[in-house]
Structure 1
Amino acid sequence: MADAPDPAKKRFIALTLIRWTGVGLVLLGLLINAGKIALPGIVGVVLVVVGLFDAFVMPVILARKWKSKD
């Protein structure tokens, strides 16, 4: 009998990838604002804001959505 895939493992991986993507966006935005990447400063600011949202808010929203109902 084949074991069913564990949805908690997939959700944990998804949350981790979302967090790391957010961190990457923040770092990219900071590099743009520091002048290391030739893009307008507003692009850097937007990436930092979106990255912070991805890293801190999205995992909480998804965890609440995926929370099992008792």
Structure 2
Amino acid sequence: MEKIINLHIEKLPEGYYLATTDDLQGLVVQGKTIAETLEIARDVAHKLIESQVNITLNPVADSFDYPLVIGQ
């Protein structure tokens, strides 16, 4: 079953993107692009979930909003 983790992403002055969340303790990642940051966050989330026993995440609802980021 898929679960949702709400990420907060901000662009750092150095040009990198930083992703954090209140949903999963310890998830703090950065990448050169938003896509890279999301990929790293997904990998780290999987590892954190595997290493922790009592994690409660929200299930994916039948409908939800998703911001689609498009580069030009």
Q: Please give the TM-score of this superposition, normalised by the length of structure 2.
A: 0.34
Q: Please give the TM-score of this superposition, normalised by the length of structure 1.
A: 0.35
Q: Give the number of the structure whose alpha-carbon radius of gyration is greater.
A: 1
Query: If each structure's helix is expressed as a fraction of its own residues, which one has the higher value?
Result: 1
Query: If each structure's strand is expressed as a fraction of its own residues, which one has the higher value?
Result: 2
